[in-house]
Structure formats: structure tokens, C-alpha cells
């Protein structure tokens, strides 16, 4: 019996198979075990239990509700007794003096009682000396603000519920109907409503409060220009500024992407092995591309902002620098994969090197160039939003400002919706251009042949 035959005995084969199955079982158990250990380490290292305890669900609920609702502020100055009503508490959304919504009954003189009906039995009264809140099922809460003693609160007998916060200088009540806050100098009532109030017209516009039919009727009667002007120059929602910010974001993405492609294409010839025989120069070009794309665009944004100052141009330059390195690598790899026979065919006609590149190389790599340019243009549209938040340009800046205030979350929702629509539009446009330029599709028009061999267009 030979050595090979001895190795192929049933006992030996069984031992080998047992070892093989044991290794596979060990591997199948070891990998999930390592992942489980790693997840356990992450849970402890990042203090996930403490993070869960620190979560403020009430604050999160308030922010979420603010994205699809607005609040009207009724404010009383405790020093002179004057009362003002403003949507979102902003001066741009303030009701004219002496005017108010139907659920607010203003006193005829300063200091006279003002009644605020929050519906379902909730009633707030601003009196000459004190503020009262009649809460169904709980009772009457009275607060008397004074200079010397702060806010003196009188509550019904019993334990103070968790939706009432009372201290020497402040009384805060939050119910399903609204909120009341009383301090020494001011008493304020918030009432929430669903929707984005004043989105089309502000209170000072003659078209505020009109129905869609009435607005369309006035537009047909020759007031279309005035209607568009009031909407475009809305002081609360700033539609004109938002549109310009969207344009700046798209401009940053376009300039950065196209500029990077223009710079990277000639440099890619230096980095391609079949077009740059000089090794050291090729190595320098490749390391240059690695350096540019090795630093994230956000880092380049911070660096360039120190050099050129904030603005959309800085964001475009950051995208350009990063994408130059990425495009240089992609284009050089595409050049190394071109078909040499096509280049030799062009050269056989007596074409010069520039002509060989133009007619023998560029047509081969054009689909790759266009595909990558369009993809990065779509991706950079999203990146330009974050870059704009750092450099102070585009829709990213408006989004950051709205988030920082923590009171204009309906504007945050508005900007996020616009960003999503912008990305969807760029996705559609990129796909349409890809089909037109790379696949050669002509939209809905297709060329077909007649039975007699003549071609015609079928819509």
C-alpha cells in the first residue's frame, strides 16, 4: 500500500472531515461571539444606560410637535399692564395694537381684564393685579407677580402635579390646551394650532385670511403680481431668501463637481501607467490624488474658510479639492483600461498625439467620466448642505440657524422638506442626463423602421 493510499483510508478521511466540521463550527460560533462582545463593550464604553436615562422625552415631543404646528403668544407686561398678541412671539407676526384672534378678548384700556379662551373649559384671565388659570378637573390657579416678593402662586389644596412648576420667581403650567408662564415682569400664554401659519401671507397683507378661491379670483382680476409679491417677500418664511439659499447650494455642488472634473482629467493622464512612462512623475501624481481625497471635504471646508473667509465659494472650493483627488484616481484607472487597438487605428491615419487622445481615448472613457460626474453631482448636492452650514452659505446656513434657536422647528421641517425635494430633483435630473448622454435614449421618441425600410419617428 502506498503512502497516498494510506492517506485515503476511511478512518483518515473521517478524521479530516471531523476536523473540518469542527473548524467551521468554531468559526460559526466565534464570529457572533466576537460581535456580541464588541457590542457589549460599546454599550459600556459609551454609557448607553446613562444616555437612555438622560433622554428628555418631553423635550423631544415638544420639538416634534413644533414641526407641524405653530403657537400664538398672548403676552402681558406686568409693569404697565399692556397686552400683545403675536404668532410665534415674533414682531413680524404681531397683531396690530387693539386687534386679536377671536379666542382672545382684550381689555379696552391698559390693565383691564383680558380673557383667553383655550377651549374645553380652560380659561386664562389677565387681571389688574393677578393672573388666573381655571383648569377643569383641577381648580383655579392664581399668580400675583410683585417686585419685592416675586411670583406668589395660589394652588388648590393637595400635591402639586408634575405639569405645574412653581418657584419663588416663576410659575409654569403646561396642559393639553396650552401653556402659561408667569414671571415678575411678564405673563405669557401659548396656544398651539396645527399647520404652518402665515406661510403664504403675513398679517399685514390684504390677502391674509382669504380662501384659495378668493385669492384665485383676485389673481384673475389683475392682482396676480401683487399676490406673488406678497408671497415672495413673506417676512415670516422668507421665501425669496430660501430660494436663493437653494440656488447657492446647487451652485456650490455644480462648481465643485465640474471644476474637479476639469482639473482631474489632464492630471489623470500623468497618473495612468499606459500614458505616463516616467515612473517617479506617475507616483507623484498618484500620491497627490491620495492627499486630496484623503482629507474629508469638511476638513477642507474649515481650512479654506480660514484662508478665504466664509461664503459659498469656499464650500465650492472644498468640494473641488476633495473631488479632484477622487476623480483623478477614477479617471486614471479608466485610462489604464482603454482599448489600445482603437488608439493604434487612429495613429495609423497619421494622427498626432493630441488627436489620438481626442478621437481614440476620450470617446472610450466618456461614459465613465459622465457617469461619475453625474453621480458625484447628485451626492455633492447633499454634501453642500452640510458644508454650507460651516461656511455660511446655502440652505445649510438657514437650517443651522433654525435649529439653534429651538423655537422655529416648523422652519426646520420646511427646510428639510426642501432639501429632500432638491435631492430628488437632482436624482431625477442625473438619471435623465445619464440616459440621454450615455445610453443615447431620446426620451419618449423612438426610432423605428417601416416595412419598406424607411425610418420614421413614433411619438
The β-bridge partners of 69 are 194
Q: How many CA atoms lie within 13 A of 458 on its CB side?
A: 7
**pLDDT value for 455:** 40
User: What is the rounded distance in angstroms from the CA atom of residue 442 to the CA atom of residue 444?
Assistant: 6
* C-alpha cell at position 285: 501624481
- Torsion angle, alpha carbons of 64, 65, 69, 70, to 10: -100
Contacts of 156 (CB under 8 A, 6+ apart): 138, 139, 140, 141
Instruction: Mark out the alpha helices in 224-361 (DSSP H runs).
Output: 224-232, 239-271, 279-294, 297-308, 312-336, 340-347, 353-356
**pLDDT value for 449:** 37
Residue among 109, 108, 112, 104 at smallest CA distance from 73: 104
- Asked whether 426 and 419 are in contact (CB, 8 A), the reply is no
Residue among 160, 154, 148 at smallest CA distance from 184: 148
pTM exceeds cut of 0.85:
no
- Asked whether 155 and 141 are in contact (CB, 8 A), the reply is yes
CA angle 381, 334, 328 (to 5 degrees): 55
Q: Is the dihedral of CA 192, 195, 199, 201 positive or negative?
A: negative
Q: Hunting for cell 515612473 — which residue is that?
A: 279
Residues counted in the chain: 459
User: What is the rounded distance in angstroms from the CA atom of residue 300 to the CA atom of residue 326?
Assistant: 14
- Asked whether 293 and 326 are in contact (CB, 8 A), the reply is yes
**pLDDT value for 228:** 93
What is the mean pLDDT for each group of 10 consecutive residues in the chain (459 residues)? 55 76 79 88 82 76 81 88 86 84 79 84 89 90 87 85 88 90 91 88 88 91 91 90 93 93 91 83 90 88 86 90 92 85 80 79 84 89 88 85 78 91 89 77 46 38
SS3 74: strand
**pLDDT value for 209:** 84
SS3 356: helix
Exposed, middle or buried: residue 101 (CB in 10 Å: 0-12, 13-18, 19+)? middle
- Asked whether 328 and 269 are in contact (CB, 8 A), the reply is no
The β-bridge partners of 84 are 75
**pLDDT value for 439:** 67
User: What is the rounded distance in angstroms from the CA atom of residue 415 to the CA atom of residue 242?
Assistant: 8
**pLDDT value for 263:** 93
Residue among 396, 391, 401 at smallest CA distance from 308: 391
**pLDDT value for 440:** 64
Q: Hunting for cell 396650552 — which residue is that?
A: 178
* C-alpha cell at position 350: 497619421
**pLDDT value for 8:** 59
**pLDDT value for 406:** 65
**pLDDT value for 441:** 60
Contacts of 7 (CB under 8 A, 6+ apart): none
Amino acid at each position: 500500500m502506498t503512502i497516498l493510499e494510506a492517506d485515503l483510508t476511511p478512518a483518515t478521511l473521517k478524521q479530516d472531515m471531523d476536523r473540518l466540521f469542527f473548524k467551521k463550527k468554531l468559526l460559526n460560533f466565534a464570529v457572533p461571539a466576537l460581535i456580541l462582545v464588541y457590542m457589549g463593550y460599546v454599550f459600556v464604553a459609551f454609557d448607553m444606560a446613562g444616555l437612555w436615562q438622560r433622554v428628555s422625552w418631553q423635550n423631544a415631543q415638544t420639538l416634534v410637535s413644533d414641526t407641524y404646528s405653530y403657537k400664538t403668544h398672548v403676552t402681558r407686561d406686568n409693569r404697565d399692564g399692556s397686552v400683545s398678541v403675536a404668532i410665534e412671539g415674533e414682531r413680524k407676526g404681531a397683531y396690530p395694537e387693539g386687534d386679536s384672534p377671536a379666542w382672545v378678548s382684550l381689555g379696552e384700556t391698559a390693565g383691564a381684564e383680558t380673557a383667553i379662551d383655550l377651549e374645553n373649559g380652560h380659561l386664562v384671565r389677565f387681571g389688574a393685579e393677578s393672573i388666573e388659570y381655571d383648569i377643569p378637573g383641577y381648580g383655579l390657579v392664581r399668580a400675583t407677580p410683585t417686585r419685592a416678593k416675586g411670583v406668589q402662586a395660589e394652588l388648590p389644596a393637595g400635591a402639586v402635579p408634575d405639569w405645574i412648576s412653581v418657584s419663588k420667581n416663576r410659575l409654569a403650567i403646561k396642559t393639553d390646551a396650552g401653556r402659561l408662564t408667569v414671571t415678575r415682569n411678564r405673563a405669557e400664554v401659548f396656544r398651539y394650532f396645527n399647520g404652518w401659519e402665515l406661510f403664504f401671507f403675513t398679517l399685514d397683507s390684504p390677502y391674509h385670511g382669504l380662501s384659495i378661491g378668493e385669492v384665485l379670483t383676485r389673481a384673475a382680476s389683475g392682482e396676480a403680481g401683487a399676490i406673488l409679491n406678497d408671497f415672495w417677500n413673506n417676512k415670516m418664511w422668507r421665501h425669496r431668501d430660501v430660494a436663493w439659499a437653494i440656488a447657492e447650494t446647487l451652485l456650490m455642488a455644480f462648481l465643485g463637481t465640474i471644476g474637479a472634473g476639469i482639473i482631474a482629467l489632464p492630471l489623470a493622464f500623468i497618473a495612468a501607467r499606459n500614458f505616463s512612462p516616467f515612473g517617479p512623475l506617475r507616483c507623484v501624481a498618484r500620491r497627490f490624488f491620495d492627499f486630496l481625497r484623503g482629507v474629508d471635504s469638511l476638513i477642507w471646508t474649515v481650512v479654506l474658510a480660514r484662508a478665504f473667509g466664509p461664503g459659498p465659494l469656499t464650500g465650492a472650493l472644498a468640494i473641488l479639492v476633495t473631488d479632484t483627488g477622487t476623480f483623478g484616481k477614477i479617471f486614471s484607472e479608466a485610462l489604464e483600461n482603454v482599448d489600445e487597438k482603437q488608439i493604434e487605428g487612429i495613429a495609423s491615419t497619421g494622427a498626432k498625439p493630441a488627436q489620438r487622445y481626442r478621437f481614440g481615448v476620450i470617446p472610450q472613457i466618456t461614459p465613465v467620466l459622465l457617469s461619475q460626474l453625474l453621480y458625484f453631482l447628485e451626492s455633492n448636492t447633499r454634501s453642500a448642505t452640510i458644508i454650507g452650514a460651516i461656511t455660511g452659505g446655502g440652505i445649510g446656513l438657514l437650517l443651522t440657524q433654525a435649529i439653534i434657536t429651538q423655537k422655529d422647528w416648523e422652519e426646520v421641517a420646511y427646510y428639510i422638506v426642501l432639501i429632500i425635494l432638491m435631492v430628488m430633483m437632482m436624482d431625477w435630473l442625473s438619471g435623465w442626463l445619464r440616459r440621454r448622454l450615455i445610453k443615447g435614449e431620446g426620451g419618449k421618441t423612438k426610432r423605428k423602421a417601416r416595412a419598406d425600410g424607411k425610418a420614421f419617428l413614433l411619438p
